[in-house]
Structures are given as structure tokens and as C-alpha cells.
Amino acid sequence: MAKFKGAGRGKYSLALVLLMFSALVLSACGDNTATPATAPTTATATTAAAATSAAATTAASATTAATTAAATSAAATTAATAATSAAATTAASATTAATSTTAAASGTAAAGKGGTLVVGTVFSSKGLDPAREYTQTAFTVMHSVYQTLVTYAGSDVTKVVPDLAESWTLSPDGKTYTFKLKSGVKFVSGNPVTSADVVFSYNRLKNIKGQPAFVTDNMTSFTAVDPQTVAIALKDVSPDTLSLLTTPSFGVIDSVTAKANGATDAADADKNDKSENFMNNQSIGSGPYKVTGFKPEAEIDLAKNPNYSGTVSYDSIIIKNTPDVNIQKTSLQKGDLDFALDIGPEQAAGLQGAAGVTIQQSTSLVILWLLMNADPSVSVPTSKNEVRQAIRYAINYKDYVELGGGSSLQPPSMIPVGLAGALDKSTAVPTDLAKAKDLMAKGGYPNGFTIKLSYPSDLTQNGVKFETLAQKMQADLAQINITAELDPKTIQVWLDEYRTGKQPMTLSLWGPDYNDPADYLTFFPGQKVAIRAGWQTGADPEIEALAAKAKVELNESTRLSLYQQAQKLLNERGPYAPFLQPSQVIGFRSNISGVTYNPVWVVTFNETAKK
């Protein structure tokens, strides 16, 4: 009874009102869930799916009747509000139609093509400035909106083709490239592409000192010889220059528009370039598409560039952040996505035979490899070459290939199959336990030893978990009596240790920054990655001499043969054991043709087309 006393009557009614209110809210809420769920939702859900692909076709036809390009966003809102009384279904498709109007109305409608392409990927970047971003997503987008002097067509990454440049020459001393630009190429703004834009873009790239600035390291100056000619001077002779120039970081931006929005290419650009925000929210390039919208966590919208001279496959492209790969898979299967860029072997297996879905597997240019530290102060056993050789023979390579699935293979060299300079697949190190045990004895460890095996525990590469790889490697090493103590670290902590070179043994990976064997010079003694493996300058003069020659050799076949000789020696004496070149999976709707995989920018959307 005592509890009762303090409470006045009013309080009961208040409590009751509260409860009734919550009940009201609940029932309202229940209605919310029920109402759309019964009729319109089912309808819209299916149309939504259709809207992505079907709106493409409807939009195209609606467009011709629709207003001019200027009405873009206005059209979108009017369409939406006009549809007030109409069912959600029609409203949804009306908006989609209006949205795609943007592109279709402004560009020359390519007959039988166009529509909207919807791409699902895990966003790795939120910026789109070629001078600042160095991530997969940014590269994929930049490659569609900015042009480079030269590029690669399709999946062939061994032959450079013209993009902004129509021709080029190399000076006799091998230190100056001169590019002649195509005439009549225009930016989104309508400004012509001139040599001044190229010079501005490249100086800006160098001087902002952002992540990608290292690609200009060997370039000392960029000169506008005349409005259509640009010269690039090199510090050292470097046969990889052309392939480097295909990197999206070398995308040419509209210098006039850029300057008007705070950009600078001066030496102090790292402090005084104020255009970052501007550059992240639109594109000012000459590629087939332009960035029209950017929601950093959700999507990047591209529309046809009205000033692009060539054919453009789509009216618009929507790149959606889809962080969960299983959802990417399901959405692709249902047709909500046209492309799923991050699915792995597991999802690919689940999509096998799914109607309307094509799974394209190609061998990636990623190498997964084992580091065996050659520095005796870090690890005595692996400083002995016999032990490192024994480990190379002890690895059951076919098991890793199986883990990678699809088009995975055992890499015959640190340079992956598919890049010039790689060794032939048949020369890959075989699994030979007897030989491995013999080598262990020769190295002075017939009874094995105990060693720490580090790996980034939260990293998954091409659908293969490092966790699984580490366990497999532990089992393989146990065959020759090596007790590997697993040392899992999160990627950031692992990176710290890896880059200081204090790991006796670790799993690691390397993907090409650009498609040239020169990107693999880092594995030779005294270079960045080699130092992490305890391989300092002077550790192997023969290999170093070969690498030094290969770096500057201008005759292509001589150059590649030098790389191959060095790779062979690396397989015999190096501190690395490359064990897997995983499969690269791209999933897309079967009505899309022309899809090829590029290791740097993944897909060139404009090379593909929708039936």
C-alpha cells in the first residue's frame, strides 16, 4: 500500500495515455508495414527491378518526347510531384525516366543502345580527384570520365593504344617522349583539350604530392611545345613510361575550369590547391561520361558526356556501394545490378547456371606470396638459401589453386602470368617433398625449426581468406618439420610490421600499380619490398646486375628476356615463394557484351554494351 500513496490519480491517467499513445503509434506503424506491403509494394518491388533495366529502354523512348537537357533535375522533381496521385509504381518509373533524361537528351542517342547501367561494388574511395585518389573504385570511375594520353584496349595489357594522343615519339637518348594530341577533342565544359591541359594536369599530379604522385617520379618536366604537342622529359631512361601513362592518375583535367575552382599546378600545390571538394563532386574530363552526382556512402552517378566524340554505350551509369558481397550476388541474380565487381569464387559457384547471369573468370594479376626473411638477425633458418628452397618445394601448390577456384593458377614467377616478363607456366616450381627434406638437411635443419608466420587476419583477396591460407601454409610447412606459429594481426597492424621488415615469415600479396614488369623491380635486392625480406643491396650481385639492365633496356625483347633471367634466379635464390595467382571474377547480366578485365581499372564500361 505504501507504494500506492505517493501516486496521484492524474499519474495513472498519464501512464494510461502514454500506453495508449504507444499503442496508437504501434498500430499506425503496423499499418505502415501492412499497407504498402499488401498491394503497391509487391508491384513496385518488381517494377523497381524492372526499372533498373527496363527504365533504360522506356527512358530512351520517353526522352525523345521529353523536354530539353536543361530541365534535368527540374524534370525529375516535376515528374515526381506530378505523379502524386498515381501509384508508387508509376511514380518510380517516372522519376527514373526523368533522371535518365539528363543523359539521353543531351547526348546523341546511339541507336539501339543507351539506357542505364547499374554497377555494384564495395566502395574503396570517396574522392574522385585524379591527383589525390589511388583506389580501385576511384580508378574505375576516373577511367570512364578522364582520358589519358595512351591506354589499353580490352584485356590486352601488353600493347598501349592511343587515347588523347594520336601519335608519339621517343628521343634517341630515350629520355623525352613527345605526344601529338588528337584535334577536336573537347571537355565536358566544351573547352578544347590542349597541351596546356595536359601540362597542368601532370604538374598538379606531381605537386599535390598525394598518394598517386609517385607515378611521376621519373618525370622531370612537362612542356607544351605547341597547343597540340606535349613533351615529357624523363630523369632516367625508362621503358615502362607508356604503360605508366595509362594509369587513371594521368587523367587529363580541364585546366580552365579547374583553375576557376581553386586548382593550381604550382610547386606548392600540396598546400594551395583548394579544388579537392570541387573535384570530388564532378568530373571535368573528356571521357565518355561525366560525374553528375556523388553520395559518398551510397552511389556515384555518371551520365553521358555530351561533348564526347566517340560512341557512348549508356545514357547513365550508377555505381552503387554494395559492401556485402552476398548481396551483390543476389542483386545481380535478380537483375537489380548489371555488374557485380567484388564477388569471389564462393559467390561465383552459387551463381553457376543462374538464368541471365554471366560469370567471367580470368586470372588476376595479383600474386599471393610467402616472405622468408633472409636477414639472419631476424630469422636464422630462413637466412639459409637451402631452407628457402626447401620451403618452395614443400608447398602443395595445387591446393592453393583449388582454394582460389576458377582461373587460378600457380604463378611461375613473382611477375604474374599475363604480364610481359613473366616466366612460362611450365617452369613453375614443382611440389617435391623428398627434395625439400633433402634441402632442409643440407641447410642444417634435418629436424626442422620453429618460426612465426604472420598474416593479415582480416584480409580477403579475390575471395580467398588469408586466415585459410595461413592454416594451409602451416600444414605444408609441418611436412618438412617446420613448426609455424600463426601470428594473425589486423591489416593495419600487420602493415606496420611488414613495412619495418621484422617478420621472419609472412604471407603477403602484390598487385600491379601499372601493367609493366618494372613494377616488380621492387622485389630485387636493395629495393623496397626486398628490404622487408632482409635482402639488402649487395645480397645477390648477379640478380642486381640483371635488374639494373632490365630497368633501362629499350629493346623490348632484350628487356623481357632480362626480366625472365632475373625471375629464374629469384625462384632459386630469392626470399619469396609465390604460391597463388587467384581468379578474378566479374559477374554481369548476360545481355551485356564486351566485358573484359583490366587489373588497374577493372572494367572499361564504355567497351561494354547492353542488348
Partner 1 sequence: MTQYLIRRLLLLPFMLVGISLIAFILSHSVPADPVNAALGEGAIGKPDLVRAYKEHWGLDKSLPEQYLVYLWNLSHGDLGNSIISRRSVAEDLGDAIPATFELATTAILISLLGVPLGIWAAIRHRKVADGFIRFFSLVGSSVPVFWLAYIAIFLFYTNLSIFPVGDRLDTGVRPPTHITGFYTLDSLFTGNWSALGSSLRHLILPALVLSLTTIGTIIRVSRTITLDVLHQDYLRTARSKGLKELVIIARHALPNILVPVVTVISLSYGSLLSGTVLIETIFSWPGLGRYAFQSATKLDFPGIMGVSIVIALIYITINLIVDLLYAVLDPRIRTKAA
- Residues between 438 and 477 that touch partner 1 (CB under 8 A): 458
Q: How far apart are CA 131 and CA 115, in angstroms?
A: 31
Residue 412 identity (one-letter amino acid): P
DSSP code of residue 586: E
Q: C-beta of 358: minimal distance to partner 1 in Å? A: 19
DSSP per-residue string spanning 264-305: --STTHHHH---HHHHHH---S-SSEEEEEEETTTEEEEEE-
Three-state secondary structure of 5-61:
HCCCHHHHHHHHHHHHHHHHHHHHHHHHHHHHHHCHHHHHHHHHHHHHHHHHHHHHH
Residue 438 identity (one-letter amino acid): D
Which of 60, 62, 66, 96 contacts partner 1 by CB under 8 A?
Answer: 96
Helices 385-394 + 433-442 axis angle, to 10: 160
Stretch that binds partner 1, among 34-42, 171-179, 550-558, 561-569 (CB under 8 A): 34-42
**Is residue 126 a contact point for partner 1 (CB under 8 A)?**
yes
Is 422:413 a contact under the CB 8 Å cutoff?
Answer: yes
Pick the closer one to partner 1 by CB: 18 or 545: 18
Stretch that binds partner 1, among 81-89, 422-430, 538-546, 549-557 (CB under 8 A): 81-89
Is 108:308 a contact under the CB 8 Å cutoff?
Answer: no
**Is residue 299 a contact point for partner 1 (CB under 8 A)?**
yes
Measured between its terminal Cα atoms, the distance across the chain in Å is: 79
**Is residue 276 a contact point for partner 1 (CB under 8 A)?**
yes
x/- mask, partner 1, residues 300-339, rule CB under 8 A, reads ------------------x-xxxxx-xx--xx-xx-x---
Q: C-beta of 3: minimal distance to partner 1 in Å? A: 6
**Is residue 110 a contact point for partner 1 (CB under 8 A)?**
no
Which of 3, 377, 426, 434 contacts partner 1 by CB under 8 A?
Answer: 3
Q: C-beta of 455: minimal distance to partner 1 in Å? A: 15
User: What radius of gyration do the chain's Cα atoms show?
Assistant: 29
x/- mask, partner 1, residues 180-219, rule CB under 8 A, reads -----------------------------xxxxxxx-x--
Q: How far apart are CA 254 and CA 263, in angstroms?
A: 10
Grid cell at residue 357:
547471369
Within 92-208, strands assigned E span 116-121, 150-152, 160-162, 165-170, 176-181
Q: C-beta of 162: minimal distance to partner 1 in Å? A: 25
Q: C-beta of 431: minimal distance to partner 1 in Å? A: 30
Q: C-beta of 214: minimal distance to partner 1 in Å? A: 4
Grid cell at residue 29:
506503424
Q: C-beta of 129: minimal distance to partner 1 in Å? A: 8
Which of 62, 63, 66, 132 contacts partner 1 by CB under 8 A?
Answer: 132
Q: C-beta of 506: minimal distance to partner 1 in Å? A: 15
**Is residue 16 a contact point for partner 1 (CB under 8 A)?**
yes
Q: C-beta of 480: minimal distance to partner 1 in Å? A: 31
Give the 3-state secondary structure of residue 171. coil
Q: Cβ atoms within 10 A of the Cβ of 13, count?
A: 10
Pick the closer one to partner 1 by CB: 209 or 568: 209
Q: C-beta of 388: minimal distance to partner 1 in Å? A: 23
Give the 3-state secondary structure of residue 137. helix
Helices 385-394 + 556-573 axis angle, to 10: 100
Pick the closer one to partner 1 by CB: 153 or 354: 354
Q: How far apart are CA 330 and CA 568, in angstroms?
A: 44
Which of 496, 542, 556, 572 contacts partner 1 by CB under 8 A?
Answer: 496
**Is residue 492 a contact point for partner 1 (CB under 8 A)?**
yes
Q: Cβ atoms within 10 A of the Cβ of 6, count?
A: 7
Pick the closer one to partner 1 by CB: 339 or 397: 339
Using left for φ > 0, alpha for ψ between -120 and 50, and beta otherwise, residue 275 falls in alpha
**Is residue 277 a contact point for partner 1 (CB under 8 A)?**
yes
Stretch that binds partner 1, among 51-59, 185-193, 254-262, 479-487 (CB under 8 A): 51-59
Pick the closer one to partner 1 by CB: 389 or 581: 581
* CA within 13 Å, CB half, 447: 0
Q: How far apart are CA 604 and CA 598, in angstroms?
A: 8
Pick the closer one to partner 1 by CB: 448 or 517: 517
**Is residue 434 a contact point for partner 1 (CB under 8 A)?**
no
Pick the closer one to partner 1 by CB: 67 or 155: 67
**Is residue 88 a contact point for partner 1 (CB under 8 A)?**
yes
Which of 105, 114, 115, 116 contacts partner 1 by CB under 8 A?
Answer: 116
